[in-house]
Amino acid sequence: MSTINLEAALGGESFADLFNETIKNQDMKSGEVISAEVVRIDHNFVVVNAGLKSEALIPLEEFLNDQGDLEVEEGDFVSVAIDSLENGYGDTILSRDRAKRLSAWLQLEQALESGELVNGTITGKVKGGLTVMTNAIRAFLPGSLVDLRPVKDTTPYEGKTLEFKVIKLDRKRNNVVLSRRAVLEASMGEEREKLLETLHEGAIVKGVVKNITDYGAFIDLGGIDGLLHITDMAWRRVRHPSEVLQVGQDVEAKVLKFDQEKSRVSLGVKQLGEDPWIGLARRYPQGTRLFGKVTNLTDYGAFVEVEDGIEGLVHVSEMDWTNKNVDPRKVVTLGEEVEVMVLEIDEDRRRISLGMKQCRANPWEEFSINFKRGDKVHGAIKSITDFGVFVGLPGGIDGLVHLSDLSWAETGE
């Protein structure tokens, strides 16, 4: 057959054109990433032209981003991978997903070699750590590499997008291992140097609660940990640091002491505000009556908070006019609002003495007004002792009839 007849049989295409096309296709390999132009966007497919004999159809979902939105338009040039040079019908099968994965693996390999950081989103928990999606590749974040210190509860990290360092990569096994701790250690040195330049006594700093103990809390200031002692958390009495702080909480504090050689920082939160004890005696002169909340109960009395940071003691002897040894728990309850009177304030020792009985009428004064010496009174016998009989009188007063006064005729013994 002649060349002319062959060209006619092939629809006008020259043998040279077909040969060159064949050679071109043979140069391409399955898995290779090439550039293609978006020609048309149909309902279910994106049609691309990669310079091959025919246009290729790629499923539309391969061009959707994580939010489900289409990320290409007609005329855009995109990277696609060759899945198959020949599917049996003369078509070349292209894949956008495969190209993105190949590109992602290449970026991860480059990051591993150069030490460049990668972004990723923590998606969930697995045995021994967390899963991270980085550029559509599922990676593993060991629990020991989540933070600078061991993390017991990783729940707060889930869903967060952070920077990671690639520390291990095996494409054949589809294995990527990341580290967040390496990123923090690298940045900690820079932050530490910057912090040391500005850190001084009296400075206001911000940090995050890293650990809570019985005596205080350690605050991460960014490369340096500061101690916030329990006595410097609030002007009021704090029984345990967990009452006012929790791990991971953002805190603003004042630097009280700073030892640069030992890198020790003492912090205070209550010092950010004014000392409520200053001028307290002027605000509450002796005899002032006010309401407060019972914050603590002891065998010797009750502590009452009269304003934020100011607690005073109501001694057991100042609770009741007639019973000086009453159990405080039988008079008031924790959290109860009570009326008290200021008896004495010592600003230097930060002590305020309060009284509850002074806010009620004194039954002894009323009794002395209503009854004179020699008056006859009636009352129920409340108790009998070896030395006499106690009789209940008006106002809750107990009167003693000594055994020598029980009878003229008998001794009472």
Which residue from 109, 44, 46, 111 is spatially nearest to 80, judged by alpha carbons? 46
Contact between 304 and 295 (Cβ < 8 Å): yes
Confidence (pLDDT) at 290: 93
Please state whether the predicted TM-score (pTM) of the whole model is above 0.75: no
Q: Say what percent of the chain tops pLDDT 90.
A: 25
Q: Which residue has the higher pLDDT, 371 or 335?
A: 335
Instruction: Indicate the average pLDDT of the chain.
Output: 83
pLDDT band at 234 (very low <50, low <70, confident <90, very high): confident
**Strands lying side by side in the sheet with 388-393:** 381-385, 388-393, 397-402
pLDDT band at 13 (very low <50, low <70, confident <90, very high): low
Confidence (pLDDT) at 70: 85
Q: Which residue has the higher pLDDT, 320 or 268?
A: 268
Mean pLDDT of 116-129: 90
d(CA 209, CA 248): 5
Confidence (pLDDT) at 28: 63
Q: Which token pair is 228?
A: 């916030």
Q: Which token pair is 383?
A: 């108790």
> pLDDT by residue (tens digit) across 130-163?
999 888 789 999 988 988 777 778 888 888 889 9
Residue 106 confidence (pLDDT) above 50: yes
Confidence (pLDDT) at 166: 93
Domains of the chain: 30-98 (2.40.50.140), 115-185 (2.40.50.140), 202-268 (2.40.50.140), 280-359 (2.40.50.140), 372-405 (no CATH)
Confidence (pLDDT) at 398: 80
Mean pLDDT of 227-238: 89
Confidence (pLDDT) at 291: 94
Q: Which residue has the higher pLDDT, 260 or 37?
A: 37
Confidence (pLDDT) at 7: 43
Who's near 95: CB < 8 A, 6+ residues apart? 58, 62, 80, 81, 82, 83
Who's near 194: CB < 8 A, 6+ residues apart? 222
Who's near 293: CB < 8 A, 6+ residues apart? 304, 305, 335, 336, 337, 338
Residue 273 confidence (pLDDT) above 80: yes
Q: Which token pair is 128?
A: 């021994």
Residue 412 confidence (pLDDT) above 60: no
> pLDDT by residue (tens digit) across 164-218?
999 999 888 889 999 998 888 777 776 777 777 778 888 899 989 988 999 999 9
d(CA 307, CA 157): 39
- In the three-class reduction of DSSP (H, G, I as helix; E, B as strand; rest coil), residue 315 is classed as strand
Who's near 215: CB < 8 A, 6+ residues apart? 229, 230, 241
> pLDDT by residue (tens digit) across 343-368?
999 988 889 999 998 898 887 777 77
pLDDT band at 374 (very low <50, low <70, confident <90, very high): confident
Confidence (pLDDT) at 26: 45
Confidence (pLDDT) at 168: 92
Confidence (pLDDT) at 230: 93
> pLDDT by residue (tens digit) across 24-58?
544 566 677 888 889 899 888 999 888 777 788 88
Confidence (pLDDT) at 1: 43
**Strands lying side by side in the sheet with 45-49:** 56-59, 45-49, 33-41, 77-84, 93-95
Residue 395 confidence (pLDDT) above 80: no
pLDDT band at 333 (very low <50, low <70, confident <90, very high): very high
Residue 61 DSSP code: G
Who's near 236: CB < 8 A, 6+ residues apart? 295, 305, 308, 309, 310, 311
